[in-house]
């Protein structure tokens, strides 16, 4: 009886950890003529193993040909299969104030700072954060929202237009 119970517990633990297994989801968004700034080309959600645990890496590319001075991306993340996001990754590049990324709760409480990367021409950005604050029970899904720092601008693009990637 104990060995059956131990086997069942081990199976539940293994199956419960499968959604967080290494995976890659890539989403592509069309070049939209009504979006004048920060038009999202593609996004990547990647769960990867590292030396110090598991990580979620989020990357985004834009269609623009010029490097914008100030912009931001918000990535809404669902790790439990619900209708709304469980957490948010904010990535931003500011003119003089600096750049960076962080994992937050939906209410804005900072969970972890991430490792921020920016391509040489500024048209691709990525953020890598530890996976453990998510406590995933399902495959991680995401929605990318871009913001432009131009005066009077708000949300520039949303990808995918409906639903979430993943």
Is 14 domain-assigned? Answer: yes
* Strand order from edge to edge, sheet including 23-28: 23-28, 40-50, 53-62, 124-130, 115-118
SS3 9: helix
Is 164 domain-assigned? Answer: no
Is 166 domain-assigned? Answer: no
3-state SS string over 92-112? Answer: EEECCCEEEEEEEECCCCEEE
- What residues make up the domain containing 143? 2-159
Is 55 domain-assigned? Answer: yes
Is 68 domain-assigned? Answer: yes
Q: Is the pTM of this model over 0.85?
A: no
Identify the CA nearest to 91 among candidates 133, 64, 119: 119
Q: pLDDT tens string for the chain (166 positions)?
A: 444 333 333 323 333 344 445 678 888 888 887 766 788 889 999 999 888 889 999 999 888 777 667 788 899 999 888 888 889 999 988 765 667 899 998 888 999 999 999 886 768 889 999 988 878 888 888 999 888 766 666 668 888 877 787 7
Provide the number of structural domains found in the chain: 1
Is 52 domain-assigned? Answer: yes
């Amino acid at each position: 009886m104990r060995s059956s119970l131990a086997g069942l517990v081990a199976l539940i633990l293994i199956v419960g950890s499968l959604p967080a297994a290494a995976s890659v989801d890539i989403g592509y968004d069309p070049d939209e003529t009504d979006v004048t700034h920060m038009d999202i080309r593609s996004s990547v959600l990647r769960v990867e193993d590292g030396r110090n645990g598991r990580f979620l890496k989020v990357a985004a590319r834009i269609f623009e040909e010029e490097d914008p001075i100030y912009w931001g991306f918000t990535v809404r993340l669902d790790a439990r299969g619900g209708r709304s996001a469980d957490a948010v990754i904010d990535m931003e590049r500011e003119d003089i104030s600096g750049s960076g990324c962080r994992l937050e709760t939906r209410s804005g409480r900072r969970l972890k700072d991430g490792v921020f990367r920016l391509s040489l021409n500024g048209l691709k950005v990525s953020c890598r954060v530890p996976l453990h604050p998510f406590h995933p029970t399902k495959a991680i899904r995401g929605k990318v929202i871009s913001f432009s720092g131009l005066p009077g601008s708000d949300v520039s693009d949303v990808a995918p237009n409906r639903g979430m990637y993943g």
